Amino acid sequence: MFCPSCGADGQAANAFCKRCGDWLPEFKRRSSAFGGETPQQNVFTGLFMSALSAVVALFSAIALYATYLGTDQAKWSIYLAAAFCLCIAGWQTSSFVVGLKLRRRSNRARAGVEADSQLKQATDSPALPPAEMSNFVRAQSVTKNTTELLQPLDRPRGNGSQSSRE
């Protein structure tokens, strides 16, 4: 498989390009995956869902405590549900922080790959234009016509050597 961005050969589908670092999706996709086709889209979806569920769980815990705290209608199960909502909010907040770190690391690595490819492109292009060679005298080659000076060798010709070749 070839990378559509840089043209590098020998790439695998659903992986990053070994040369430029772009995501190479599988072109014969059966169905759309939840979150997106690229890892960057999946990380963004994970961040969004973690933030949303942390906010909803925290709001649920606050609503339960505000509604039932200090009233006669409150049962132990209400307080337990509110405590679980706080645990979920804490877990989703930590998941959100880990996702942010992953996204930051991915962006730094991607910037490093782009900087390396820009450096490689700069070294691939010539620094100086080609030299002007029209002013030089065209000298004959040192080895030109030197075989005329050699004497041919007399080699014995035998029938045995020819029959072994055939």
Q: How many separate domains does the chain show?
A: 1
Give CA–CA dist 49/47, Å, rounded.
6
Residue by residue, pLDDT tens for the chain (166 residues) are 677 777 777 777 777 777 777 777 765 444 455 666 677 788 888 899 999 999 999 999 999 888 888 888 878 888 899 999 999 999 999 999 998 998 888 888 777 766 666 666 655 665 667 777 777 766 666 666 666 666 667 777 766 555 444 4
Amino acid 23: pLDDT:
74
Could you give the count of Cα atoms lying within 13 Å of 162 in the half-sphere of its Cβ?
4
* Residue 145: inside a domain: no
* Residue 21: inside a domain: no
- Token output for 93: 């907040």
Indicate the burial class of 163 (C-beta count within 10 angstroms; 0-12, 13-18, 19 or more). Answer: exposed
Residue whose pair of structure tokens reads 């070749």 in the numeric block? 165
* Residue 159: inside a domain: no
* Residue 101: inside a domain: yes
Amino acid 96: pLDDT:
93
Amino acid 28: pLDDT:
45
φ/ψ of residue 50, rounded to 5? -65, -45
- Token output for 106: 């991915």
pLDDT 10s digits, 56-100 = 999 999 998 888 888 888 788 888 999 999 999 999 999 999 989
* Residue 14: inside a domain: no
Amino acid 117: pLDDT:
64
* Residue 9: inside a domain: no
Q: Which domain holds residue 83?
A: 38-121
* Residue 85: inside a domain: yes
* Residue 93: inside a domain: yes
